[in-house]
Amino acid sequence: MKGFMNALGFLTIIKIPGKYIQSKKEISGSLILFPLVGLFIGIVMSIFYFSLSLILPIVMSIVFLIILQVIITGGAHIDGLCDMSDGVFSGRSDKKKILEIMKKSDIGVFGVLTIVFLLLLKILFIYYLARINTIHFLFFYLVILFMPAFGRWSMVYMISRYNNVRGSSSLASIFTDKKNNRKEAYLSSIYLSLLFLGAYIIVGYFFTDWTQAVFPGGIVGNFSGIFTIIYFLMKSLSVMVIFMLLLLFVGWFFTRRIGGITGDIIGGTSEIMEVLFLFINYIIFSFL
């Protein structure tokens, strides 16, 4: 309970009671719970969107949904994305110069453009996912629910995979100084994968009529349930595999210039992977 509360307080603007606040050494153990905090954010977002969609058009509901997400996180990851873009795309080849640019409080052209494009893409992908899933709308809510979870899991991956180039001067050092980060990354990968696969299959099996659409006339007969489970299992696995491959590339691309990570790169990667998660689901829903 304390671990989750501290992870929640670290990743959101939610103030946690003093009795739950842990020391620096203790809070580092909450890294494994980052995806669960993402699920919590996803639940809040799903309820918020559902409530707004009853009274507002889709586009307006989505815009307010994105505003809510930025507010919940305090804009910290957006700020990290901005600094990361300014540094990485500055054209400098010197590691120290890039880190200096990323540390500055002012915003450059690349930072502004990156934020604008990212928010536009997020709104557009959510809009088209909502349009595609007008019949089986639960899949749309699954995407909204798990988008922040996979974004937070990408932070766990970056922390466990790369070295912190700022050392103890970075806020991220709370987590990067741990020796068992990779173990926590594996464990968080397992439970998030099981939750995602299970949710995908349950919604597909109990709340869609997929077999009638693909095999009209009852061609698959008594095996329709098995085919349905296999179909949605493969679909959800495809999302996860493509997401992981893209995360490997994003991690490599944004760390190769400075040889590791900073808090900005961790947060910025989270934002980028959320957009890519939406994109992957859009492709999967459109063509598979």
Q: Which residue(s) pair with 138 in the sheet?
A: none
Banded pLDDT at 51 (limits 50, 70, 90): very high
The mean pLDDT of the chain is 83
Q: What is the pLDDT of residue 273?
A: 96
Does the pLDDT of residue 157 top 70, yes or no?
yes
Taking alpha carbons only, the member of 280, 201, 202 closest to residue 241 is 280
How many domains are there within the chain?
A: 1
Distance CA 232, CA 236 (A): 6
Banded pLDDT at 19 (limits 50, 70, 90): low
Distance CA 61, CA 128 (A): 13
Give the domain extent around 24: 2-287
Kindly report the pTM of this predicted structure.
0.89
List, as one string, the DSSP characters of 155-218. Answer: HHHHHHHS-BTTGGGSTTHHHHT-S-HHHHHHHHHHHHHHHHHHHHHHHHHHH--HHHHHSTTT
Least confident of 59-63, 105-109, 182-186, 280-284: 105-109
Distance CA 50, CA 141 (A): 9
Banded pLDDT at 211 (limits 50, 70, 90): very low
Banded pLDDT at 136 (limits 50, 70, 90): low
Banded pLDDT at 1 (limits 50, 70, 90): low
Q: What is the pLDDT of residue 222?
A: 46
For the chain, give the percent of residues with pLDDT over 90: 42
Exposed, middle or buried: residue 239 (CB in 10 Å: 0-12, 13-18, 19+)? buried
CB-hemisphere CA count at 13 Å for 162?
28
CB-hemisphere CA count at 13 Å for 78?
18
CB 94 within 8 A of CB 287: no
Banded pLDDT at 70 (limits 50, 70, 90): very high
Q: Which residue(s) pair with 261 in the sheet?
A: 164
Distance CA 233, CA 240 (A): 11
Is 277 in a helix, a strand, or coil? helix
Q: Which two tokens stand for residue 217?
A: 């006339």
DSSP single-letter state for residue 163: -
Taking residue 29's Cβ as centre, other Cβ atoms within 10 Å add up to: 17
Buried b (16+ CB within 10 A) or exposed e, 86-116: bbbbbeeeeeeebbebbeeeeebebbeebbe
For 29-43, write each residue's pLDDT tens digit: 778 899 999 999 999
CB 78 within 8 A of CB 13: no
Q: What is the pLDDT of residue 60?
A: 95
Mutual angle of helices 109-132 and 76-88, in 10-degree steps = 130
Does the pLDDT of residue 220 top 60, yes or no?
no
Banded pLDDT at 263 (limits 50, 70, 90): confident
Taking residue 258's Cβ as centre, other Cβ atoms within 10 Å add up to: 21
Q: How many whole angstroms from its chain centre is CA 81?
A: 13
Radius of gyration of the chain (CA): 20
Taking residue 166's Cβ as centre, other Cβ atoms within 10 Å add up to: 20
Does the pLDDT of residue 215 top 50, yes or no?
no
For 232-258, write each residue's pLDDT tens digit: 889 899 999 999 999 999 999 888 888
Pick the most confident of 20-24, 83-87, 205-209, 275-279: 275-279
End-to-end CA distance of the chain: 40
